[in-house]
Amino acid sequence: MRADPATFLLGGDLEVFRLGFGSMRITGAGIWGDPPDPAGARELLRHIVERDVNLIDTADSYGPEVSERLIAEALRPYPENLVIATKGGFERPGPGQWVPNGRPDRLKRCCESSLLRLKLERIDLYQLHTVDPKVPIEDSIAALAELQDEGKIRHIGLSNVSVEQIERAQQIAAIVSVQNHYSVVDRASEDELRFCEDAGIAFLAYFPLATGELAESGTALAEIADRHGATPAQVALAWLLQHSRVTLPIPGTGQIAHFDENIEAAELELEEDELEALDELAAAS
């Protein structure tokens, strides 16, 4: 039975629309500094919640700090049902540079700083952005569990992880979400998705629109898009929503028009034979 692209109960108590928003792109080039049009970024964020999207994913490293700051500037006082998910675990020495740092003391400082920037007393979903090869994941998650015990984190999630790392983290704290790169053309995290499905854990798919050459004329993806009067990107999002009941795509953009195009994918219902064709296409890519 295919999943219905509607809502997901994140952590068992936070109902979110399954098509969320990734806020990495509301920063400058190289995910560094302010965006070219900060006022436009704030307008986009307000538009997002007006369209009933209530899951916004960010991170302290986006900017760094820029994305979180813009979210607070644009959306406070926050709508009651808005879920802000942020992350810690990367250092940013410069544009395009990402250095893992999962030391417990630093993660605690990162979370405290995110609380201040977002102007929140508790973060609904705080995610370990990446596993630091120099720090056992158990130590990183233990730090987040302490913050959870202090009431500063509601739920704990992971990002850029393997099944083995998820299982190790689960020995330390309850894990409610996994955020990995996943799209119709990149299914390297299929094992992680299926693990989440079995466990009832949310799977946040980032970079979900990497359609590449498969969007070109004559491909199955393009033909299905033409059949529905949709774009290949919309079909790619619809496939994600119907591929698994736990998948929460979080496409990002800096443009209202592009966001509106993405959100329309939630209304696109693909036929069973179309889903199967895209399954086969993705598996062969």
Is 229 domain-assigned? no
Number of Cβ within a 10 Å radius of residue 72? 16
H or E segment and range at residue 91:
strand 90-91
Type of residue found at 170: Q
Ranges in the chain, pLDDT < 70: 1-5, 211-214, 282-285
170 within some domain: yes
In angstroms, rounded to a whole number, what is the distance separating the alpha carbons of residues 135 and 117? Answer: 26
In a domain, 2, yes or no: no
Amino acid sitting at position 246: V
Q: Which of 96, 60, 57 is nearest to 202 (CA)?
A: 57
Closest to 122 in 3D by CA, of 94, 151, 147: 151
pTM, two decimals, is 0.95
Q: Which run of H or of E encompasses 40?
A: helix 38-50
Q: Among the options 62, 126, 182, 206, which is catalytic?
A: 62
206 is catalytic: no
In a domain, 235, yes or no: no
User: Using one digit for the tens of pLDDT, what is the confidence trace for 64-86?
Assistant: 999 999 999 999 999 999 999 99
Pairing of strands 175-181, 153-159: parallel
CATH number for the domain including 119? Answer: 3.20.20.100
Rg (CA), the chain: 18
- The answer to the question of residue 37 being in a domain is yes
243: which 2 tokens?
A: 């591929």
281 inside domain:
no
Quote the domain boundaries for residue 126.
7-211+244-267
Extended strands (E) in 129-278: 153-159, 175-181, 202-206, 247-249
Q: Are 81 and 55 contacting, i.e. CB atoms less than 8 angstroms apart?
A: no
Pairwise CA distance, residues 62 & 64, whole Å: 4
Helix (H) or strand (E) holding 86: strand 83-88
The pLDDT of residue 1 is 35
Q: Distance of CA 190 to CAs 15, 40, 160, 181, 193, Å?
A: 24, 36, 13, 10, 5
Q: Torsion over CA of 67, 68, 71 and 73, rounded to 10 degrees? A: -110
- Which residue type, as a one-letter code, is found at position 38? P
Report if residue 216 sits inside a domain.
Answer: no
Number of folded domains in the chain? 1
Sorted by sequence, the CB contacts under 8 Å of residue 130 that are 6+ apart come out as 89, 90, 98, 100, 102, 159, 160
Residue 2 is predicted with a pLDDT of 47
Q: Is 228 contained in some domain?
A: no
Checking phi first, is residue 9 left (phi over 0); if not, alpha (psi -120 to 50) or beta? beta
| CA count, 13 A, side-chain hemisphere, 99 | 7
